[in-house]
Amino acid sequence: MRCSVATATFKFAIFAVFRMGHSILRLAGLTDNEAKIYQVLVKQGQSTASRLGSLSNVHRTNAYDAAERLVQKGLATKTKTSRLTYYSPVSPKVLETQAKKLESELQSELASLNSNFSQVKSSVNSVTYEGRSGMREFVLNILNTLKPGDVWYSLGSPGAGKELIGRVFVDQLHRQRVKKKIKFIITLADGPQARKRARELAALPLTECYLLPSEFHSLFSVHVYADSVAILYYVNPGFAIVVQNAGFAEVYRNYIKVLMKKAKRFF
């Protein structure tokens, strides 16, 4: 039986790992440290967590935790002696099972997205907001549009928007949002600034923060609320393009939910 394109592509990615670096192992659901430790483990064979950490430039404690998680995921085994614990690699072929699982999930999500996309209506309303005053009007419109219990989804990179719109204004906006009982779910490209912003937001009620790999960083962000999708560009003077269409909004809402499943929840 011929394998699908998605599975074949994933297999090629796994076998190309030594040429392309550890980050590609994230496709199999490994964390950054797990990928580094696994790559070294496959190259070196049986090793202690201390040696794995040294060779992969991962702190000893983190290396031990990553090695233990690899054991739990079936990608490594461990043997204890009277003094030391040794870890041994399991064949990368185990990752083929992960590939099939990811492919199945992807096909399911794509089917849902295609179903929603087919429901997009031909009539589309759009409006553009420009500059600081326009961006403020835009976010206030979100609050006026949403009702208690509604969810506001955001996908993008942190920092620039708050600087452009105004820190005090954004803080007041979130206080009003919480008071109105509107849930805010934001997915950010990981990094120092993202973690700082996630820490600020996670302290608020009715707020969930998720972190994606840093490669997702962009000067754009996407906001989905009610039947609208907004694309924001944060380079001064900045602008927001809002498209109002229920089917279009549902497609983007599901897209963000797919990314959330692959992201890490920030508490």
Q: Identify any residues that bridge with 210 across adjacent strands, giving them in sequence order.
A: 187, 265
pLDDT tens, 66-117?
999 999 988 899 999 888 999 999 988 777 777 677 777 778 877 777 776 6
User: pLDDT class for 219, splitting at 50, 70, 90?
Assistant: confident
Burial of 80 (C-beta count, 10 Å sphere; 0-12/13-18/19+): exposed
| Per-residue pLDDT at 22 | 52
pLDDT tens, 174-216?
999 999 999 999 999 888 888 998 999 999 999 999 998 887 7
Within a 10 A sphere around the Cβ of 261, how many other Cβ atoms?
Answer: 9
Contact at 8 Å (CB) between 15 and 96? no
12: alpha, beta or left? (left if phi > 0; alpha if psi -120 to 50): alpha
| Per-residue pLDDT at 118 | 61
Q: Which two tokens stand for residue 260?
A: 């959330």
Query: Residue 163 pLDDT more than 60?
Result: yes
| Per-residue pLDDT at 241 | 93
Task: For domain 5-100, give the CATH number.
Answer: 1.10.10.10
- The dihedral through the CA atoms of 184, 240, 253, 123 has a sign that is positive
Contact at 8 Å (CB) between 136 and 44? no
pTM above 0.85, yes or no: no
Q: Which two tokens stand for residue 206?
A: 């009715």
Contact at 8 Å (CB) between 117 and 247? yes
| Domain limits, the chain | 5-100, 122-266
Within a 10 A sphere around the Cβ of 63, how many other Cβ atoms?
Answer: 26
> What CATH number does domain 122-266 carry, 3.40.50.300, 3.30.870.10, 2.60.40.10, 3.40.50.2300?
3.30.870.10
Query: Residue 56 pLDDT more than 80?
Result: yes
User: pLDDT class for 27, splitting at 50, 70, 90?
Assistant: low
Tell me the Cα Rg of the chain: 22
Cα 108 from Cα 120, distance rounded (Å): 19
| Per-residue pLDDT at 158 | 67
Query: Residue 15 pLDDT more than 90?
Result: no
The sheet with strand 76-80 has its strands ordered as 47-48, 85-89, 76-80
Residue whose pair of structure tokens reads 């979100």 in the numeric block: 142
| Per-residue pLDDT at 92 | 81
Residue whose pair of structure tokens reads 């962000």 in the numeric block: 221
Cα 90 from Cα 118, distance rounded (Å): 44
Query: Residue 17 pLDDT more than 60?
Result: no
